[in-house]
Amino acid sequence: MLSISAVQRRYRLFHPVHQTVPFHFNPVQSIFPLIYENNLLAKPRLSWKDYEGRKEFDADHPLPVVGTRLNERTTTHKWSHWDQYINPQITQSWMYLTQTPEYVGPRSGHNVIKMGWMKIGGSWKYSRSYNDARRGFAKGQWQERKMTPRFMLAPRVSAGGPRNRYEGKASFSRLSLSKLLWAVDTGRLNPNETITLYHLRNAKVIADREVVWPGMVLLAGNVERVPYPLHIELQNASAKAIQLLEEAGGSFTNVYMSHEGLYQELHPEEFPTFMEQELPERKGLENFATNSRKRGWLAQWYEDESRYAHPGAGRRTAHYIRPPTDRDFPATIEEYELAKHHQKWHLNQPGSATVLPWHSLNTADMARRSAGRL
């Protein structure tokens, strides 16, 4: 409803004055409830001063939750540093520990050296020295311009450089023996069972991000004695750690696995039956899995393999560890044609008439694709 302010209103009115007082929804009894009893007692109930708030109609009809500007703009009081200094009880968690009150946020510009603070998106015209100070000078051009650059003075150690991380390099995550003993003493690990990477991971002795292939190495730091026998299966251990464990009557087994085997070790619930595993690669086999000084899990098998001749070898090839006649690939053209014929005739069915590796579907990746978790 349009209302005219008092300044713009006409000073000569051509209508009765009481029309300007909006009494449309206010009968006289609402302001003077006793007017018909000749009493001019004024009780203006619809004034904003005596509004007592909404009242619910009934217990079955509660008031709606209405957002007004007042309750939307109201913020909760966070305890200041002064409050927390006066009463330390109110510091309930680390969320209460805020920055200093004069900290207004991260930098929003660049402190260019001769120019002062420049805003982002400003001119980079005079910022040469600032850029040079942020990433150091090109030393090969500026300081070593007339001499042999110092990277050519030292000889190259190898093709990839020293401590090069190539794919398949055995760089283990460290686990100290003192941490392992602490976990047993505090009751996180059961000393009566064989402790593997799975137990360490589940007892939260090591974090998820520490488990990277090939696994963990057990190091004896300052530990001089292991007070009880422990049976441990890990991927590597120092000689002193193995000696300490075996002096206490325990044992260490080096279970150096392939990547797939490590996954099966950490998630056994995905593999209800034992999956066919590949041997680790050649370097891991020689250094860890078949190494008796490292107590490798394949050391006994490796010794037995070298002690006896292969059962399929004849007289001529008895001196081979793995005789050349025992192969899983076609070596001649005729064998290749035969394998192609089998493959076509049997429609790639795994159990039928060919024992070549492209038919064995029992590998872990195929089995995990078909069966989910139990």
State whether 213 and 288 are in the same domain. Answer: yes
Domain hosting residue 254, numbered range: 173-304
State whether 278 and 190 are in the same domain. Answer: yes
Q: Is residue 137 part of a domain?
A: no
Classify residue 291 by its DSSP letter: -
> Which range is least confidently modeled, 53-62, 162-171, 335-344?
335-344
Q: Is residue 147 part of a domain?
A: no
Long-range contacts of 290-296 (CB under 8 A, 24+ apart): 291/254, 293/239, 294/236, 294/237, 294/242, 294/254, 295/237, 295/242, 295/251, 295/252, 295/253, 295/254, 296/253, 296/254, 296/256
**Averaged confidence pLDDT in the chain:** 85
**Domain end point (choices 304, 338, 354):** 304
**Domain end point (choices 260, 281, 304):** 304
State whether 277 and 321 are in the same domain. Answer: no
Q: Is residue 272 part of a domain?
A: yes
pLDDT of 106 > 50? The answer is yes
State whether 283 and 343 are in the same domain. Answer: no
pLDDT of residue 161: 85
CB 229 within 8 A of CB 250: yes
pLDDT of 101 > 80? The answer is yes
Predicted structure pTM score? 0.51
Query: CB neighbours of 97 closer than 8 A, spacing ≥ 6?
Result: 91
pLDDT of 319 > 90? The answer is no
State whether 177 and 295 are in the same domain. Answer: yes
Strand partners, 110: 118
pLDDT of 190 > 90? The answer is yes
Number of structural domains, the chain?
Answer: 2
Q: Is residue 232 part of a domain?
A: yes
Average pLDDT of span 31-37: 89
State whether 178 and 297 are in the same domain. Answer: yes
pLDDT of residue 139: 57
Q: Is residue 167 part of a domain?
A: no
Give the pLDDT confidence of 263-274 residue by residue, as tens digits. Answer: 999 999 999 998
Share of the chain above pLDDT 70, in %: 86
Report which of 348, 372, 370 is spatially closest to residue 360, judged by C-alpha positions.
Answer: 348
Q: What's the CA gap between 185 and 202, in Å, rounded?
A: 17
Per-residue pLDDT band at 125 (split at 50, 70, 90) = very high
Q: Is residue 225 part of a domain?
A: yes
Report which of 359, 365, 196, 213 is spatially closest to residue 277, judged by C-alpha positions.
Answer: 365
Give the pLDDT confidence of 147-160 residue by residue, as tens digits. Answer: 887 788 889 988 88
pLDDT of residue 341: 79
Per-residue pLDDT band at 361 (split at 50, 70, 90) = very low
Q: Is residue 249 part of a domain?
A: yes
State whether 200 and 264 are in the same domain. Answer: yes
Q: 247 versus 53: which is more confidently predicted?
A: 247
pLDDT of residue 350: 59
State whether 347 and 322 are in the same domain. Answer: yes
State whether 353 and 294 are in the same domain. Answer: no
Q: What's the CA gap between 82 and 332, in Å, rounded?
A: 87
State whether 337 and 257 are in the same domain. Answer: no
Q: Is residue 113 part of a domain?
A: no
Q: What's the CA gap between 317 and 312, in Å, rounded?
A: 9
**Domain end point (choices 251, 281, 304):** 304
State whether 179 and 290 are in the same domain. Answer: yes
State whether 230 and 199 are in the same domain. Answer: yes
Strand partners, 216: 173
